[in-house]
Structure 1
Amino acid sequence: MTAPSTAEQPWPVRTVARKIAEWIARLGSVWVEGEVTQISNRPNTSTAFITLRDPSANFSVTVTCATALLRSLDTPLTEGARVIMHGRPVFYEGRGTISLRVDEIRAVGIGELLARIERLRRLLAAEGLFEPGRKRKPPFLPQCVGLITGRASAAERDVLTNAKHRWPAVHFRVINVAVQGHLAVPQVLEALSTLASDPEVDVIVIARGGGSVEDLLPFSDEALCRAVAACRTPVLSAIGHEPDTPLLDHVADLRCSTPTDAGKRVVPDVAEETTRIGQLRDRARRALHGWVDREHRLLAQLRSRPVLSDPFGPLQRRMEDVHALLERARRATLSRLGHEQSRLDGVKARLTTLGPAATLARGYAVVQRVADGAPDGVLRSVADAPPGTLLRVRVVDGAVHAIVPEDTDAVNGGSGGVAGP
Structure 2
Amino acid sequence: MAAKSSPEQPLPIRSVLQMVAQWIGKLGTVWAEGQITELSSRGGTVFLTLRDPVANVSARVTCPRNVYETAVPRPVDGARVVVLVKPDFWVNRGSFAFTALEIRPVGIGELLARLERLRQIIVAEGLANADRKRRLPFLPGTIGLICGRDSAAERDVLENARRRWPAVRFKVEAVAVQGPYAVAEVTEALHKLDADREVDVIVIARGGGSLEDLLPFSDESLVRAVSACRTPVVSAIGHEQDNPLLDLVADLRASTPTDAAKKIVPDVGEQMALIRQLRDRGRRVVVGGLDREATWLAAVRSRPSLADPVREIERRAEQVDGLRDRARRCLGSSLDRAEDSLEHLRARLVALSPAATLDRGYAIVQFPSGEVVRQAADVSGGEELSLRFSDGRVGVTVSKPGFDEPGS
Taking structure 1 as the reference length, the TM-score comes to 0.69
Structure 1 residue runs of 5 or longer lacking an equivalent are 318-421
Paired positions, count: 317
Contact in 1 for aligned 2:138/2:265 (Cα 8 Å): yes
Partner of 1:114, secondary structure, is: helix
Q: CA deviation at 1:66?
A: 2.1
Contact in 2 for aligned 1:25/1:89 (Cα 8 Å): yes
- Deviation sequence 1:48-97 (CA, Å, 0-9, x none): 32211123332210112322212322333322221110122222333222
Q: CA deviation at 1:183?
A: 1.4
Matching residue within 252, 261, 264 for 1:263: 261
Give yes or no for the alignment of 1:186 onto 2:184.
Answer: yes
- Deviation sequence 1:104-163 (CA, Å, 0-9, x none): 110111111111111111111111111111011111111111111111211111111111
Contact in 2 for aligned 1:236/1:253 (Cα 8 Å): yes
Counterpart position of 1:51: 49
Counterpart position of 2:33: 33
Counterpart position of 1:213: 211
Alpha-carbon distance in 1 for matches of 2:195, 2:292: 54
Counterpart position of 1:115: 113
- Could you tell me which amino acid in structure 2 is paired with residue 151 of structure 1? R
Counterpart position of 1:274: 272
Partner of 1:84, secondary structure, is: strand
Change (3 A) 1:23 1:127: farther
Alpha-carbon distance in 1 for matches of 2:40, 2:72: 19
Q: CA deviation at 1:303?
A: 5.2
Counterpart position of 2:3: 3
Counterpart position of 1:64: 62
Q: CA deviation at 1:299?
A: 4.4
Q: CA deviation at 1:184?
A: 1.0
Alpha-carbon distance in 1 for matches of 2:288, 2:251: 43
- Could you tell me which amino acid in structure 2 is paired with residue 76 of structure 1? R
- Deviation sequence 1:11-69 (CA, Å, 0-9, x none): 543454344445534543221111111233222x4x43221112333221011232221
- Kindly report the root-mean-square deviation, in angstroms, between the aligned alpha carbons of the 2 structures: 2.8
- Could you tell me which amino acid in structure 1 is paired with residue 68 of structure 2? L
Matching residue within 103, 107, 130 for 1:105: 103
Change (3 A) 1:162 1:2: closer
Counterpart position of 1:144: 142
Alpha-carbon distance in 2 for matches of 1:280, 1:128: 40
Contact in 1 for aligned 2:72/2:105 (Cα 8 Å): no
Q: CA deviation at 1:244?
A: 0.7
Contact in 2 for aligned 1:56/1:182 (Cα 8 Å): no
Alpha-carbon distance in 1 for matches of 2:296, 2:9: 110
Change (3 A) 1:313 1:62: same
Partner of 1:115, secondary structure, is: helix
Alpha-carbon distance in 2 for matches of 1:75, 1:39: 15
Alpha-carbon distance in 2 for matches of 1:311, 1:5: 127
Alpha-carbon distance in 1 for matches of 2:89, 2:217: 35
Contact in 1 for aligned 2:54/2:221 (Cα 8 Å): yes
Contact in 2 for aligned 1:84/1:106 (Cα 8 Å): yes
Contact in 2 for aligned 1:55/1:183 (Cα 8 Å): no
Alpha-carbon distance in 1 for matches of 2:28, 2:299: 101
Q: CA deviation at 1:259?
A: 0.9
Counterpart position of 1:410: none
Counterpart position of 2:17: 17
- Deviation sequence 1:292-325 (CA, Å, 0-9, x none): 333344445555667767899999x9xxxxxxxx
Counterpart position of 1:163: 161
Moved more, 34-43 or 137-146: 34-43
Identity %: 59
Contact in 1 for aligned 2:304/2:312 (Cα 8 Å): no
Matching residue within 60, 69, 88 for 2:86: 88
- Deviation sequence 1:147-201 (CA, Å, 0-9, x none): 1111121111111111111111111111111111111111111111111111111
Contact in 2 for aligned 1:239/1:246 (Cα 8 Å): yes
Contact in 2 for aligned 1:209/1:240 (Cα 8 Å): yes
Structure 2 residue runs of 5 or longer lacking an equivalent are 317-408
Counterpart position of 1:292: 290
Partner of 1:28, secondary structure, is: coil
Alpha-carbon distance in 1 for matches of 2:128, 2:67: 43
Partner of 2:53, secondary structure, is: coil
Alpha-carbon distance in 2 for matches of 1:290, 1:23: 94
Change (3 A) 1:294 1:87: same
- Deviation sequence 1:208-258 (CA, Å, 0-9, x none): 111111111111111111111111111111111111111111111111111
Alpha-carbon distance in 2 for matches of 1:296, 1:7: 110
Moved more, 89-98 or 256-265: 89-98
Partner of 2:208, secondary structure, is: coil
Counterpart position of 1:130: 128
Partner of 1:41, secondary structure, is: strand
Partner of 2:39, secondary structure, is: strand
Contact in 1 for aligned 2:237/2:257 (Cα 8 Å): yes
Alpha-carbon distance in 2 for matches of 1:39, 1:168: 45
Alpha-carbon distance in 2 for matches of 1:147, 1:111: 32
